[in-house]
Amino acid sequence: MSTQVNTVLFDLDGTLIDTNELIISSFLHTLGKYYPDRYKREDVIPFLGPTLTETFESIAPEKVEEMIKVYREFNLGNHDLLVKEFDGVFETIRSLKEAGFKIGIVTTKVLMVVEKGLKLTKLDQFFDVIVALDHVKMPKPDPEPILKALELLGSKPEEAIMVGDNSHDILGGKNAGTKTAGVAWSAKGKEFLLQFNPDYMLGNMADLLDILEVGEK
């Protein structure tokens, strides 16, 4: 990769921290309340990535706010029990920070829950900027949140790479003009992500250090 990349933007859920179980459990709890026995685990995997509003609007437009409330109550109540970080994430983020990269988070989650996850995994010390759902009008794959993060960091799209576990992250990065990297540990699977032609596919977060030539002279 060209040495001009100085900025790395990360999705949070399913990329830096393993919230998959928490999210799946939150959806099953919420949908089970309104539609008992209708949804199974595999049915809710496609809901990882879009905003809660988008997902619940596709299911029950008249109950969106109510369902989001039920979801968030369960999600927050079980957060610390079910969330953990992925292998290699802490060390990689620390290495990027020490090497002088500007690093940020661009997520479709609300800020309060983002901060909770970062604090739990001790990643909160590293990020220069967080662009959460409450900060934008249009979530990924719209370029708005990525461009906002770049603006706050004083970076240009061509100097940045967007790392994520979902099509929203890859397409959002492409729409904003950044390089993109998918993560092979995505709950939707590596093959799913490859359809969106990310510039890189990470087998472990530490692969980023090789791509960005961190620690190499």
Q: Does residue 145 have a cis bond before it (omega within 30 degrees)?
A: no
Is the same domain home to 190 and 125? yes
117: left (phi over 0), alpha (psi -120 to 50) or beta: alpha
Any domain includes 216: no
10 Å CB burial of residue 7 (0-12, 13-18, 19+) is buried
CATH number, domain with residue 147: 3.40.50.1000
The per-residue pLDDT for range 25-62, each reduced to its tens digit, is 999 999 999 999 999 999 999 898 889 999 999 999 99
The per-residue pLDDT for range 126-152, each reduced to its tens digit, is 999 999 999 999 999 999 999 999 999
What is the rounded CA–CA span in Å between residue 187 and residue 13? 10
- Sequence-ordered strand ranges (E) for 42-145: 84-85, 102-106, 129-131
The per-residue pLDDT for range 181-195, each reduced to its tens digit, is 999 999 889 999 999
User: Strand, helix or coil at 25?
Assistant: helix
Is the same domain home to 61 and 130? no
Query: Which domain does 61 fall in, by range?
Result: 20-82
Any domain includes 217: no
What is the rounded CA–CA span in Å between residue 47 and residue 31? 12
Look at residues 66, 82, 98 and tell me which one is the last residue of a structural domain: 82
Q: Are strands 17-18 and 84-85 parallel, antiparallel or unpaired?
A: antiparallel
User: What is the four-CA torsion angle of 95, 96, 98, 101, rounded to 10 degrees?
Assistant: 170
User: Strand, helix or coil at 85?
Assistant: strand
Domain count, the chain: 2
Give the global pTM. Answer: 0.91
Catalytic residue list: 11
Is the same domain home to 103 and 176? yes
Is the same domain home to 185 and 99? yes
Any domain includes 169: yes
10 Å CB burial of residue 29 (0-12, 13-18, 19+) is middle
Within 8 A by CB and 6+ apart from 123, the residues are: 16, 17, 85, 89, 90, 93, 117
Residue 46 amino acid letter: P
What is the rounded CA–CA span in Å between residue 79 and residue 65? 20
Look at residues 82, 99, 124 and tell me which one is the last residue of a structural domain: 82
pLDDT band at 81 (very low <50, low <70, confident <90, very high): very high
187 close to 44: Cβ distance less than 8 angstroms: no
Is the same domain home to 63 and 160? no
What's the full length of the chain, in residues? Answer: 217
Look at residues 31, 54, 82 and tell me which one is the last residue of a structural domain: 82
Nearest to 150 by CA among 187, 179, 184, 108: 179
Any domain includes 122: yes
Task: Specify the range with the lowest mean pLDDT, choosing from 48-52, 79-83, 118-122, 167-171.
Answer: 48-52
